[in-house]
A and B are shown apart, each in its own frame.
Chain A
Amino acid sequence: MVKYLLRRFYALLFILLCVSAITFSLMHLVPGDPARVIAEKKYGEEVTAETVELVREEMGLHRPIYLQYFHWLGGALRGDFGTSFRTGRLVGEELRARLPATVELALAAMLVSLLIAIPAGIISAVKQYSLLDNTAMLAAMLGVSLPNFWLGLLLILVFSVQLEWLPVFGRGELKHLVLPALTLGTGMAAVTTRLTRSSILEVLRQDYVRTARAKGLTEMLVTSRHVLKNSFIPVITVIGLQFGALLEGAVVVEVIFAWPGIGRLLYDSIFARDYPVIQGCVFVIAVMYVLVNLLVDISYAWLDPRIRYEVK
C-alpha cells in the first residue's frame, strides 16, 4: 500500500506542476501584449507607452517567461495570486471567502443525488426489467440529458415565480440551498442510478451469490449481506469522481442562482478580464479536482486489495 501511495503521490506532483504551468500560461493566451492589456484594464483604454512599461516592470513581465512562472508558482503555493483588478482585494482572500459556498453547494448536491440514486439503483437492479426498472432507467436517461441550466430556470419558474415557495437568490438559510442543490444534484443522481444498477446486476451474477441463495438465504439477506457490500466499490469511486463534475456544474448553477462561490467569481472575472482572479480560480478548482481524484483512487485501492496488487 505504501508503494502504491508513493507512486500516486509522485504522479500527483507531476500533474500539479503541469496544471500550474497551464494555469500560468492562460494569461499569455490573451491576444496582444499582456502588459498593455493589464495597463488598459487598470488605468483605462488611453494608456501611454510609459504606463505600459511601468506595468511590465511592476508585474515582472520583462523577465524571461520561466522566471515569471517560478515567481507565480512560488506565490500560488503560498496562496498569493496577486491583486484583483476589479476589486483591488487580494485574490487569495477572495478565494478563501468564496470557497465555503462552493463546497457547501457541492456537498448538498451530492446528498440530493445519493438520496435519489441509491434507492432507485437498488430497486431497479433487484426488479430488473420490471415497470419500476424501466421507469427508473428512462428517468435516469432524461436526467442525463437535462441541461442543468434549464432545470435551474424551470425550478425557479415553478417554485419561485409561480408558487413563491423558495427564494431565487441568496445564501445563509436552508431554503436558499434547496433549488441550487436540486439543480446540481439531479444530473449526478441520473449517472449514479445507472451505475448502482449495473454494479448490483454484475454482483448478482457472481458464484458466491448463487451459493448464498443455494444455502437457503432469503433474497433480502442475499442482497443486504452479499450483494450491496460488493456493489458499492465502483459506486463509491463514481461518487468521488462526480465531485469533479459537481465543481464543473457549480459554475453554471452559481451563475443562475447568484450563489457566491468560486464558480460565480470565475464567471464574473472572465467578463471583467480580471486575469489574476481567473488564474487563482482555475488553479484552486483544478487542485481540488486532482486531490479528490487521488482520494478516490486511494480509497478504491483500500477497499479493493486487487487494485493494489495489480499496480505492483
Chain B
Amino acid sequence: MHDLVVKIIESGPPLLEAMRRLAKHRLALAGGAIIIILCLTALLAPWLAPHDPNRQQLAYRLLPPGEAFLLGTDNLGRCVLSRLIYGARVSLKVGLVVVSITCAVGVALGALAGYRGGLVDELIMRFVDVLLAFPGIVLALVIAGIMGPSLFSVMFAISLIGWTSYARVVRGAVLAVKEREYVEAARSLGAGDARILWQHILPNIMAPVIVMATLGMAHVILASAALSFLGLGMQPPHAEWGSMLSGGRPFMRTAPHLTIFPGLAIMLTVLAFNFLGDGLRDALDPWLKETG
C-alpha cells in the first residue's frame, strides 16, 4: 500500500489531466451518473415518492409489482418504491457522515504520526494496530448492540474503526512527502509545522485520500446495511434498505419482491461508488490501470 501511495504522489498529474482521464473511464462515468441520480432521488424524495413511505394500508398488503404500486407493497401495505426512495436518504446520509468523520480523524492522526514521528507516531500506530486486530463488523456489531439499536449507534460503531485505514495510508504518504525539496524550502523560509502540513503536505497527499473516501462510501453503506439487516440500525417504521430486506425475509415465498428490490438498491449504490473509486484511482495514477 505504501508503494502504491508513493506512486500516486509521485505521478502527481495535474488536476485537469486526471479529470480528462476520468472522463474517458466508462465505468467511472456510469458510477458517477448513478450516484448523481441517487443524490437527486434522496433530495427530491417527498416529490418523487408516489406514496407516503410509512402509511400502512392493510387492504393492499403484499401486493406484487403492478400499476398502483410500481414495486409492490410490504406486509403492512406500505409502498416499496416510496420506502426505497426514502431509504436512499438514510444510506447516503450514513455514508457521508461516517466517511467525513473517519476521513477527518484518520487524515489528522495519520498526518500527525507521519510528520512528528517518534513517540507520537509509535502511540498512534500501535493504537491503529490494536483496533485493526478486531474484525471490523464484529466490534461494530457489539458496540451497536451494547449502545442499543439506532442509526447513531451504527454510525458511531463504524466510525470507531473506520478511521484507522485512512491514518495508515496518510502516515505513509506524509513520510514520503515530508523529505521533499519543497517542504525543505518552506521550512528554510521559516514556515511553521502547521503551515507546512496544511499548505504543502496535505494538498500533495489528497489523491489517495479521495480514492479511499470514494471506496469508503461503498464500504460504509454496505456495513450499515448489514448492521440494519441484523436489527441494529434504524428502527421501524422508518425506511432503511437493510431493515427492509430483513423485514421481507418471512415473506420470501409469497412476496419475493420484498427480498429482491432493497438488495438491488444496496448493490447498485455500492457498485456505483466502487466504479467511481476505481475510475478515480486509474485517473489519478495511470500506472495502476496497467496492473489492475
Are A285 and B138 touching (Cβ within 8 A)? yes
Query: Given A147-B270, A149-B229, A150-B263, do A18 and B138 touch, yes or no (CB 8 Å)?
Result: no
* A278-B270 in contact given A150-B263, A248-B135 (Cβ < 8 Å): no
Q: Are B135 and A247 in contact (CB under 8 A)?
A: yes
A137 touches B137 (CB 8 A): no
In contact, A282 and B270 (Cβ under 8 angstroms)? no
A194 cross-chain contacts in B, Cβ below 8 A: 292
B253 and A251 within 8 A (CB)? no
- Complex: A142 Cα to B272 Cα, angstroms: 10
Residues of B within 8 Å of A5, CB to CB, are none
- CA A285 to CA B138, docked complex, whole Å: 8
B96 interface contact, C-beta 8 A: no
**B129, A15: Cβ atoms under 8 Å?**
yes
B271 cross-chain contacts in A, Cβ below 8 A: 141-142, 145
* Stretch of A38-46, A77-85, A172-180, A265-273 at the chain-chain interface: A265-273
B143's partner among A29, A245, A255 (CB-CB below 8 A) is A29
The bracket for how many chain A residues form the interface is: 35 or more
Contacts of B137 in A (CB 8 A): 248-249, 251-252
Give the complex CA separation of A294 and B231 in angstroms. Answer: 33
Pick the contact of B226 from A31, A149, A153 — CB < 8 Å?
A149
Task: Judge whether A198 is part of the interface by a CB distance below 8 angstroms.
Answer: yes
Classify the interface of chain A: helix, strand, loop or mixed.
Answer: helix
B141 A251 Cβ-Cβ under 8 A: yes
Task: Assess the B226–A29 pair: CB atoms within 8 A.
Answer: no
A133 to B263, CA, bound (A): 27
Does A22 make an interface contact (CB < 8 A)? Answer: yes
Contacts known (A198-B291, A198-B292); A141 close to B274, Cβ less than 8 A: yes
A148 to B266: give the CA distance in the assembly, Å.
11
A122 to B231, CA, bound (A): 40
Query: Which of A29, A161, A289 is the one whose CB lies under 8 Å from B146?
Result: A29
Report if A26 contacts B (CB, 8 A): yes
Nearest to A133 among chain B residues (CB) is: B292
B137 CB to closest chain A CB (Å) equals 4
A286 close to B (CB within 8 Å): yes
The yes or no answer to A201 lying at the interface (CB within 8 A) is yes
Does A19 reach chain B (CB closer than 8 Å)? Answer: yes
Chain A residues with CB under 8 Å of chain B are: 11, 14-16, 18-19, 22, 26, 29-31, 137, 141-142, 144-150, 153-154, 156-157, 161, 194, 197-198, 201-202, 244-245, 247-249, 251-252, 255, 266-267, 270-271, 278, 282, 285-286, 289-290, 293
26 A-B pairs within 8 Å (CB atoms) are namely A18-B133, A22-B134, A26-B146, A29-B143, A29-B147, A137-B292, A141-B274, A142-B271, A147-B263, A149-B225, A150-B262, A150-B267, A154-B259, A154-B263, A194-B292, A197-B292, A244-B135, A248-B135, A248-B138, A251-B230, A252-B226, A270-B232, A282-B139, A285-B134, A285-B135, A286-B135
